[in-house]
Structure 1
Amino acid sequence: MTALTASSSHAAPGSRQGTAARRRRVGRSAERWLLFTAVLVLAALVLLPVLIILFTAFKPAAEINAYPPTLLPGTWTLDNFTRIFHDLPFGRLFLNSMLFAGGVTLFALVFDSLAAYALARLDFRGNRVLLIVIVASLMIPFQATLIPVYQLVAQLGWVNTFAGLIIPRAADAFGIFFLRQFFISLPRDLDNAARIDGGGEFRIFRSIVLPNAVPAMLTLAIFTFVNNWNDLLWPLVFTTSPEMGTITSGLTLLTGPSGIIPYGTMMAGALIAVLPLAVMFLIMQRRFIESVATTGLK
């Protein structure tokens, strides 16, 4: 009797521990499923506008204007894509957007990196004051400087030209500050070693700093390209000719009979406009994530 009592007393704690372990496993499994469900719901909310654009671009006009609205098209059609090239010089608008966004990105990377290198790696009088002025300029609304910049561009005769679209945006305060913060994280011993070997500042910048700042440069390139590709106000102000417009400004010219907006055609144009951005991000996403993970590390 005593042995049976002892054995049961030893079995009870083990069974309780096994039950507690099972409960913990069930709890962790439930937490994972809840997290997975929450991620799916958030992803669906984020992707819903993209899906609406995608499916609306392939709908005929009757289905777009039907009530109640439907997400999936009942009849798939390519008429909206045909019309976008018929109603607008869409190929020209696409090329203008590429030249505008690409040109601004290229110039911004060059000038922003040079200015950021000077602020991060060189000691000169007024360095701190200049940095404060650059950071303070981020607080000035873009619209506040639009009219003075337009007057200057008009006096130079750059309205309806790529020079007027690109040059005023050839440098950006955010890009300078962003790259400066990254350049500061690079060890200065590399600079000193290059100076001992007789390297000048431009050689240090080109051969040491830039190769180590590729993730940050690509991140800034993505931000700059996307912001300018999607910009509507700047091309509307500095171009008056449809031949010099961009995709965003060109889509505003779409009107149907009696001023009705052809939403199917507009969604087709928006879908085509999104594709270069999606492709660019897919190509650069590894570098982009690497930059987010390493920026700020000392």
Structure 2
Amino acid sequence: MKNKNNLNVNSVEVVSIDFDPNIIEVENKSKRTIQKEKYENDLLNIEIKRNEKEQKIIITRSWFKRLWMNLMLSCFLKVSIKKVKINHFFYLRHVKRVKNKTLKMSGDVWYKRIWTNVSGYTFLFIMLIVMLFPFYWMIITSFKDYSEIDSGVKETLWPKHWTLTAYKDMFTYLDSNNQTKSIPFYRFFTNSLFIALMSTGFSLIVSVIAGFAIYNWRTKFNYVFMIIMFSIMMVPGEALILGRYWIAVKMQWKNNLLALVVPFIGNVFTIYLMSNAFYGLNRDLKRAAKIDGLSSFQYFVKIALPAVSATILTSFIISFIESWNSVLWPITIMDQDSNWRTIPMMLYALMNLTGDVNPEIFKAQDPINVKMAASIMAILPMIIVFIVFNKWIINGLTKRDVGGSSKG
């Protein structure tokens, strides 16, 4: 009997089963989990391609080619993200529904969100009106006739008769030959443009070199130097005018072009901005450059400068606007009959203008419309510069060009 049982046991055929854990794992995954993974993978692929394209842009030497590649990168990102949203429409709709349901359960109902949005946008709208109203008033006043700006006439928010008389009289007064202290308007403009470009160019050279020196040659005195820089930034510029004036007079720069250019070369803020941009570079870039046999100067020219191009452009714009808008220093160091007078000096002279100066041109005791017209002509170039380069200014102040840790 015992042998018979053993025979039956031995006669049982053992069948081996191949076990694949991946199949069980896929089966256990829900439909939403799979959709989420596909969505995240698509976003990851876009990010990888974006990084590859940005690296190619950094190492490209041609400025025009970099501009074209940046444009293509923007188009690629917009098209790719739009395509991902279309392909994963149902998953994103599900995520939105879950989010709304969660907000509702937490007490964040729709009418509370509406009240928050309405109150927030109302506050922003009021602040927008407060900030834009002076510009609006300046514009409409410049188009008013002399009969609408007399002292006994009630001010209106809209001109009764639109006219360019104020602009015409402003140019006539500045271009008139009988004004011995006057120079043409285009001369004011070219003076401001030339001085701003000169001072900004030299300031940018000094700022870039100084910022790279602070980043590259690190010593125990760097911390002390940064404290000194911040301390200088805390001092208002008006407090330094007396010292600047004394130095300029001793160097015989009064009524000289150098007096309007040299004081703006050492801009502490742009030096700090450039040093911070260089500190944002990945230290591995410098190590790789040394391995490839590049010197510090070659690394500075071929790698560091292209990497911080956005910050360089931002520093240029900030320095240019600061030099263009400078009024206190020019009227201090320049006489009213100087040939190097700038547009802010022209505004300063016109602000004290009355109808008694030239009654043949100005038909009002206080030609406020002429003053507003001159103000618009003065700020118009800076408004255009800000509108065109607004994106680059924000990126240069908030975004580092090449990510990664600067330690190492």
Same fold (TM over 0.5): yes
Q: Pick from 206, 218, 221: which aligns with 1:123?
A: 218
SS across alignment from 1:72: coil
Q: Pick from 312, 317, 340: which aligns with 1:244?
A: 340
SS across alignment from 1:138: helix
Q: Does 1:71 align with 2:157?
A: yes
* TM-fit CA distance, 1:242: 4.2
Q: Which residue of 1 aligns with 2:205?
A: 110
Counterpart-to-counterpart distance in 1, 2:383 and 2:238: 29
- Unpaired segments ≥5 residues, structure 1: 1-16
Q: Does 1:253 align with 2:349?
A: yes
Q: Does 1:148 align with 2:243?
A: yes
CA 1:41/1:208 → structure 2, altered by over 3 Å: closer, same or farther?
A: same
Aligned pairs, how many?
280
Counterpart-to-counterpart distance in 2, 1:162 and 1:201: 35
* TM-fit CA distance, 1:110: 1.0
Q: Which residue of 2 aligns with 1:14?
A: none
Q: Which structure has the bigger radius of gyration?
A: 2
TM-score between the two structures when normalised by the length of structure 1: 0.85
Q: Which residue of 2 aligns with 1:6?
A: none
**Equivalent residue runs for 1:50-199 within 5 Å:** 50-65=135-150, 66-88=152-174, 89-124=184-219, 126-199=221-294
Kept after mapping to 2: 8 A contact 1:53/1:267 = yes
Give the number of the structure with larger relative contact order, counting CA–CA contacts within 8 Å between residues 6 or more apart. 1
* TM-fit CA distance, 1:106: 1.5
Q: Does 1:207 align with 2:306?
A: no
Letter matched to residue 58 of structure 1: F
* TM-fit CA distance, 1:93: 0.8
Counterpart-to-counterpart distance in 1, 2:278 and 2:133: 39
**More moved, 243-252 vs 152-161:** 152-161
Q: Which residue of 1 aligns with 2:312?
A: 217
* TM-fit CA distance, 1:285: 1.4
**More moved, 146-155 vs 72-81:** 146-155
Counterpart-to-counterpart distance in 2, 1:152 and 1:27: 62
Letter matched to residue 328 of structure 2: L
* TM-fit CA distance, 1:132: 2.6
Kept after mapping to 2: 8 A contact 1:236/1:249 = yes
Kept after mapping to 2: 8 A contact 1:56/1:73 = yes
Q: Does 1:25 align with 2:110?
A: yes
Letter matched to residue 317 of structure 2: I
Counterpart-to-counterpart distance in 1, 2:222 and 2:196: 30
Structure with more of its chain in helix, by fraction: 1
CA 1:190/1:87 → structure 2, altered by over 3 Å: closer, same or farther?
A: same
Letter matched to residue 87 of structure 1: Y
What is the Cα-based RMSD across aligned positions, in Å?
A: 2.5
Q: Which residue of 1 aligns with 2:123?
A: 38
Kept after mapping to 2: 8 A contact 1:242/1:250 = no
Counterpart-to-counterpart distance in 1, 2:338 and 2:156: 34
In percent, how many aligned pairs have the same letter? 28
Letter matched to residue 343 of structure 2: I
